[in-house]
Chains A and B, each alone.
Chain A
Amino acid sequence: AQSVTQLGSHVSVSEGALVLLRCNYSSSVPPYLFWYVQYPNQGLQLLLKYTSAATLVKGINGFEAEFKKSETSFHLTKPSAHMSDAAEYFCAVSDQQAGTALIFGKGTTLSVSS
């Protein structure tokens, strides 16, 4: 069975600081990994996805994530936080690129202070 653990339900950073949101996964097969962002009162928007093409994945809004098989991790980073990055972030895993449900982590709320 697959699972996702997001370490830290809340992360607070200052504007301009590094953003690091942690995600660890469990999967018995090569995983497909995703990060989604949810702004208040909106649905989920895809930030980036890992589909085994490259271990460092660049996404929208300056975010990137690195797949580390040895650590079973897929942490999300952004060099410099903006106020507009305040949102809830979800990591998800699947055993296929499409055609099956995603297994989501419980989410991490990112707060950005000026």
Chain B
Amino acid sequence: DVKVTQSSRYLVKRTGEKVFLECVQDMDHENMFWYRQDPGLGLRLIYFSYDVKMKEKGDIPEGYSVSREKKERFSLILESASTNQTSMYLCASEGANQPQHFGDGTRLSIL
């Protein structure tokens, strides 16, 4: 079974802080994704990566960056956290011709 592990289930940070959300997958998948989930809006793509050091912007990249130095790890970075980035963040990974597998999510609160 594919396992996608997000480092924190709950996180509380202050405005202006630099925040790192970590995601690790154990299936040697090429593709990894970061989504943001808000009530009534569904999931929206922030960034995705199709290989080490490769990344593509999604629908809502503003205020975020990503890092993929190793194949199994995909990090989401909030450069200077703001209250409107309070949300649930979901990471997913995907192998060739396979559906996306999701982690359990990180519920992030920015105070």
Which residues in A have some Cβ–Cβ distance to B below 8 Å? 9, 34, 36, 41-46, 49, 90, 97-99, 101-102, 104-107
Q: Are A104 and B105 in contact (CB under 8 A)?
A: no
A90-B40 CB under 8 A given contacts A44-B90, A99-B31, A99-B50: no
Contact between B50 and A101, CB atoms less than 8 A apart: no
CA distance A56 to B63 in the complex (A): 42
B104 proximal to A (CB < 8 A)? yes
Q: Are A46 and B99 in contact (CB under 8 A)?
A: yes
Residues of chain B having any CB pair with chain A under 8 Å: 4, 9, 30-31, 33, 35, 40-45, 48, 50, 58, 90, 92, 94-105
- The answer to whether A99 touches B90, judged by C-beta atoms less than 8 angstroms apart, is no
Query: B42 is contacted by which of A46, A49, A106 (Cβ under 8 Å)?
Result: A106
B42 near A90 with CB under 8 A, answer: yes
Chain A hits for B99, CB < 8 A: 34, 46, 49, 98
